[in-house]
Amino acid sequence: MKAFNIPVNYRSPVITHIKAERNTGDHLKKDFKPSVLDFGKVKINLARHFGFCYGVENAVETAYKAIEENPGKRIFLLSEIIHNPFVNLSLQQQGVRFITDTGGNQLIPWGEIREDDVVIIPAFGTTREVEGLLKQKGIRQVYYKSKCPFVEKVWTRAGQIAAKGYTVIVHGNPVHEETRATFSHSRSQGPSVVIKDMDEAYLLADFITGKRAPSLFGEFFSGRCSEGFDVNRDLRRIGVVNQTTLLASDTQDIADFLNDTMRAHFKLGRDTSAHFANMKDTLCYATHENQQAVINMLDQSADLAIVVGGYNSSNTSHLVELCESRLPTYFISSDAALVSDQEINHWDISSRQLHTTYRYLPQKDPLSVHLTSGASCPDILIENVITKLLSFFGLTIDTLSLRML
């Protein structure tokens, strides 16, 4: 796999060493058991896979290359390069400005962007409408290579489905940049609709089977279906693609349910291809590996879990969901959230608010902690969390004794 040139302030010598040790005996990275960092009073179960993925490293390298190659020029990002505040702040400190926020709200009017400016596409890609605007403005320095190749894989799959006469069902968060971009590309090639979860899959099935009147479709999917969408025509043949950062099981469950719906409604046998496109997993490898690593980590006992990442990071939020189902879990963006051994500031994914919890560390010897991070989290943030946690017990990271379960 390609080695990327990542700025030194994102790297961690400690984490690099741990990953190298694991890879020595597991070149194919198929052993998903956690690394056990034994500090005596504290034992940390570090997930086998976490941190920067290929797409994120590619985006970060491209952004810094754009800065290096264009001294003196104004440099803009369409929105956050990835969903991590540490990385985005670092780029802003380099003079990069964001044209929109992650919700697509304008921060800098398009009228202020000139043809001699530099524009970087985020890892999530962008819509065809924005691509058209960039071309219309004649901007020559547009860095498209910062797009994640796994996102482009989804776009390719959507195009293949549409070309064969299937309607594209996009499973994703409708307001997420990646889903907005995927929907924009898929609807340019054929009928498309975005569904966010299994509840909306059930709703879509009601329209497929005629349990709900076609006239009601717009009430539920307005702004999330292609122009001129015809329920009677466009829900006879469907195929599913997904936002790459979702829970793999959720997308598979939705695809299986819709496949079964088409089989029952159209009285099909084992072969449903006349009405349902064969499902090809379009989740990125890092999303799958990080989730599987957490699942395996949760097989080990621990007193609590800490997940590090941006609060608007989809893939990180799903790691939190997995951990929360098993034990007390704290979602933090950096070591600053660890105020003391008695106080932690953490993000609640249900209420979407910051919470403060007191006495979060059980009085145990040794204390056992599960630790992981999302695909957009630099390794240095994990090292900082370990260092801060250890400081509460008078320990340092130099006392590390690494072993594998």
Together in a domain, 322 and 259: no
CATH number at residue 134: 3.40.50.11270
Q: Supply the pLDDT for residue 405.
A: 39
Together in a domain, 142 and 160: no
Is the pLDDT at 235 greater than 50, yes or no? Answer: yes
Together in a domain, 253 and 311: no
Place of tokens 């829970």: 247
User: pLDDT category, 404, cuts 50, 70, 90?
Assistant: very low
Is 178 tagged catalytic? yes
CATH number at residue 333: 3.40.1010.20
Per the structure, the complete domain to which residue 92 belongs is given by: 54-146
Examine residue 344 and state whether it is found in any structural domain, yes or no. Answer: yes
Number of domains in the chain: 3
Examine residue 36 and state whether it is found in any structural domain, yes or no. Answer: yes
Q: Which of 127, 187, 134 is nearest to 151 (CA)?
A: 127
Together in a domain, 162 and 187: yes
Examine residue 85 and state whether it is found in any structural domain, yes or no. Answer: yes
Question: 232: which residues sit within 8 A by CB, 6+ positions away?
Answer: 214
Together in a domain, 92 and 197: no
pLDDT in tens, 124-157: 999 999 999 999 999 999 998 888 888 999 999 9
- How far is Cα 35 from Cα 47, in angstroms, rounded to an integer? 6
Q: Supply the pLDDT for residue 286.
A: 79
Together in a domain, 290 and 383: yes
- Residue with the bigger pLDDT between 260 and 2: it is 260
pLDDT in tens, 10-50: 999 999 999 988 988 788 788 999 999 999 999 999 999 99
Together in a domain, 169 and 137: no
Examine residue 272 and state whether it is found in any structural domain, yes or no. Answer: no
Examine residue 275 and state whether it is found in any structural domain, yes or no. Answer: no
Examine residue 395 and state whether it is found in any structural domain, yes or no. Answer: yes
Together in a domain, 120 and 172: no
Examine residue 279 and state whether it is found in any structural domain, yes or no. Answer: no
Examine residue 23 and state whether it is found in any structural domain, yes or no. Answer: yes
Together in a domain, 254 and 214: yes
Mean pLDDT of the chain: 93
Together in a domain, 42 and 104: no
- Domain termination residue (choose one: 107, 127, 146): 146
Place of tokens 């320095």: 141
Together in a domain, 321 and 397: yes
Together in a domain, 179 and 103: no
Beta 167-171 vs 192-195: how paired, if at all? parallel
Residue tagged active-site, from 178, 200, 321, 383: 178
Q: Supply the pLDDT for residue 278.
A: 80
Residue 267: other Cβ atoms inside 10 A: 6
Q: What is the radius of gyration, based on Cα positions, of the chain?
A: 23
